[in-house]
Amino acid sequence: MDTSLLYLFDLFGTAIFAISGVLLAARLKMDPFGMVVLASVTAIGGGSIRDMMLGATPVFWIIDNNYLWVIFITCLATLLLVRQPKQLPWYILPVCDAIGLAVFVGIGVEKTLLLQDSMMIAVIMGVLTGCGGGIIRDILAREIPMVLRSEIYATACIAGGITHTLALYFGLPSQPAFLLGVVTTLTIRLAAIRWHLSLPTLSVKS
């Protein structure tokens, strides 16, 4: 994929994930500093872990401070536009999270393939890019991370990452493959939100 287009998608995903962090912080009545922290770890946490694991250091937001500016501006805009988060429809936060999730999985796959050739590692890093920030966000908010619940969350990321890499393997150009992976992740995640789909849970009798 064209690196400039990938960069725009990356900034877009950063803004969307920052919004989800601010909305959660507002619902938990955090102060402005807490909101910025929660928005930041949500937006750049997964990508930071990915870059460190791949040896792509310094991590992306240290090299390019535009990511931090996007987070700060998004936090301010969200605070100004959303004065009473408790009155927002229940689905706003999970839908914002789903959009950011889908975009970041695709970005994780693309960036990983720029550094190495293993499609399996690309899928894993795509899932990490999408889920990593949300895991840190939920831990800081003292909630069980969505990836550890029975909800279809990481499964959607895996499906999107596999779709993305398989499309590339069978010769689809990079941009359509990226979009196909994003749409796959987003469709599965939104369906899970809409119809409350979940994976079966294991129960052990004591």
> How many other C-beta atoms are found inside a 10 Å radius of the C-beta of residue 31?
9
Tell me how far apart the alpha carbons of residues 62 and 48 are, in angstroms, rounded to a whole number. Answer: 10
The pLDDT profile of the chain, 206 residues, written as one tens digit per residue, is 778 889 999 999 999 999 999 999 988 989 999 999 999 999 999 999 999 999 999 999 999 999 999 999 999 999 888 776 667 788 888 899 999 999 999 999 999 999 999 999 999 999 999 999 999 999 999 998 888 876 899 999 999 999 999 999 999 999 999 999 999 999 999 999 999 888 887 666 65
Q: Quick one: how far is CA 106 from the chain centroid?
A: 10
H-type helices in 85-141, by residue range?
Answer: 92-115, 119-140
Structure tokens at 65: 């401070």
Tell me how far apart the alpha carbons of residues 97 and 186 are, in angstroms, rounded to a whole number. Answer: 10
State the sign of the Cα–Cα–Cα–Cα dihedral 198, 183, 128, 190.
negative
